[in-house]
Structure 1
Amino acid sequence: MSILATPTRKEREFQAREELILTHARRLLLEKGFQAWNMDQLAEAVEYSKGTLYQHFTSKEDLVLAVATDALRMRADLFEKAAQFKGLSRERCRAIGFACCEFAFNHPDYFHVEMMLKSASFWEKASEARRQAHAFQAARTWRVLNNIVVQAMALGDIPGGRVTPEQATFALVSVTVGSHVMTQEPMLRVQAGITDPMSSVRLNQDLVCDGLGWKPLLHEHDYASTDKSIVKELFPSALAWLPSE
């Protein structure tokens, strides 16, 4: 049986310093966005030289990708927690929707940052190791939802022959990410009459599920009771963003 080596003092200090850098970078990103701060300001905030920052991260883009990957890891953790919900396949998908909104509530700027990460000019400036780490966490979120879709098709909850599991998963991911991004735009919210962004995101998810023919359809089941169970069993903190009854 293999025994994990205990990190040396130097390794522990390196990790602690990296966590400090990430914490301050996350704060600057939230306060100023990507463009309005630089590595000199970050070095001043953490009280290390800029050269020390580059011992951890190859570029500003590499650093921001690390911040986003850490958030994405939290999102994947929430998805895996939600997948443990005991219920019908669509109820389990609904629990994933809760996890996504729980994450968005606590990380409101994540999806805008994620859109920026996809640009070639940004992505290519990040190290290969950081790109792989981000891809790994993204794959975790995809896999959780895709597994539920595969099971739903095997059970006949989603009619077969219309789309593949991957196409159905892609549709749900696309409408979710797009909805989170768009509900953060004040003008679009006014034009669409959106007063509760999280409810709008979850409604869009339901519309896609109904479009896939995922049984039971929205009008065929007491999903309000399902929601109460999800909150009680998995996400009691969701009461902070759920509309009051």
Structure 2
Amino acid sequence: MSTTPTMARKERERAAREELILEQARRMLAESGYLDLNLDELARRVEYSKGTLYQHFSSKEDLVMAIAVRGLQARAGLFERALGFRGANTRECVQAISVAAGQFCHAFPDYFEVETLVKLSSFALRASELRRNQLGLAVGRGFRCVQGIVQAALHLGDLPAHAHLAPERIAFALASVSVGSEIMGRLPELRLLAGIDNLAAVVRENQSLLLDGCGWKPLRSEYDMAAVDRRIRAEVFPEASWLDV
């Protein structure tokens, strides 16, 4: 069936309405947190009925998961930008992904918090199948960027083959170290105990420790990481003002 001008206009209006709802809900989450996210108040702020909200989102959890999808898509977009960096080797290429991950946390701190929230099993149970599928696609989009660099490193010999670790497992380990360090580093008490005053730098140090442990050449001690950071910022992420270069 062909799309008529009227249908196309209605689709645009629906998309614009959904974007308005998502943006206002994101702001409310940042202001007050999940427990105080009230759909009646959200409806008042966007000037639509509560019933209209449910035309777009099946539940409060579905709405929050939709916000998480936006964040994951933003991160994947940054990862895809990082793939454009002309690294001298795959270790430099994965460093560009590291900068992309840091830029995401710096530019979208509230999205990172929402992403952490939707990892709870209750969200998956109460969100729609459509939203769960969107979440999976967004996660996969970013993961494949990292996995592709791992596969290239194995092919070129920058990364020695590990009989017990497939490329996707190495990519998963890198993601786990990155996200886990970010989550734990947001606890003020733990930062104090660990003597952390620059979380972004520590997250990247942890990534380097993992890469060195896997034998990914060149090792951290064998090249100028700061010089590569300067090139990454100049070529790909000029907005990364947090990067200490």
| TM-score category of the 2 structures, normalised to the smaller one | over 0.9
The residue type equivalent to 2:29 in the other structure is L
Structure 1 residue aligned with 2:213 = 211
Q: Would the aligned equivalents of 1:111 and 1:180 in 2 still touch at CA under 8 Å?
A: no
CA distance in 2, matches of 1:129, 1:228: 41
1:104-152 deviations in Å (ceiling 9; x for gaps) = 0011133332232122211111100011011001001110000100110
Q: Higher mean Cα deviation, 158-167 or 194-203? A: 158-167
The residue type equivalent to 2:142 in the other structure is T
SS at match of 1:96: helix
Displacement of 1:4 in angstroms is 8.4
CA distance in 2, matches of 1:4, 1:101: 41
Q: Would the aligned equivalents of 1:111 and 1:177 in 2 still touch at CA under 8 Å?
A: no
Q: Would the aligned equivalents of 2:65 and 2:135 in 1 still touch at CA under 8 Å?
A: yes
Unaligned runs of 5+ residues in structure 2 are none
Question: Which residues of 2 match residues 105-124 of structure 1 at below 5 A?
Answer: 105-124=106-125
CA distance in 2, matches of 1:4, 1:184: 48
Displacement of 1:188 in angstroms is 0.8
Structure 2 residue aligned with 1:158 = 159
The residue type equivalent to 2:193 in the other structure is Q
Indicate yes or no: 2:141 matched with 1:145.
Answer: no
Structure 1 residue aligned with 2:224 = 222
Change (3 A) 1:220 1:42: same
Q: Higher mean Cα deviation, 118-127 or 132-141? A: 118-127
Q: Would the aligned equivalents of 2:65 and 2:123 in 1 still touch at CA under 8 Å?
A: no
Indicate yes or no: 2:141 matched with 1:136.
Answer: no
Indicate yes or no: 2:11 matched with 1:11.
Answer: yes
Identity of aligned residues (%): 50
Structure 1 residue aligned with 2:48 = 48
Backbone CA RMSD of aligned residues: 1.5
TM-score w.r.t. the length of structure 1 is: 0.94
Indicate yes or no: 2:37 matched with 1:62.
Answer: no
CA distance in 1, matches of 2:210, 2:10: 51
Q: Would the aligned equivalents of 1:76 and 1:141 in 2 still touch at CA under 8 Å?
A: yes
Indicate yes or no: 2:184 matched with 1:179.
Answer: no
CA distance in 2, matches of 1:195, 1:104: 16
Q: Would the aligned equivalents of 2:150 and 2:170 in 1 still touch at CA under 8 Å?
A: yes
SS at match of 1:99: helix
Structure 2 residue aligned with 1:126 = 127
1:77-120 deviations in Å (ceiling 9; x for gaps) = 10011012111101000000000000000111333322321222
Change (3 A) 1:67 1:166: same
Structure 2 residue aligned with 1:20 = 20
CA distance in 2, matches of 1:165, 1:13: 43
Structure 2 residue aligned with 1:168 = 170
Q: Would the aligned equivalents of 1:172 and 1:205 in 2 still touch at CA under 8 Å?
A: yes
Aligned residue-pair number: 241
Displacement of 1:16 in angstroms is 1.1
1:172-210 deviations in Å (ceiling 9; x for gaps) = 000000011111111111011110111011111111100
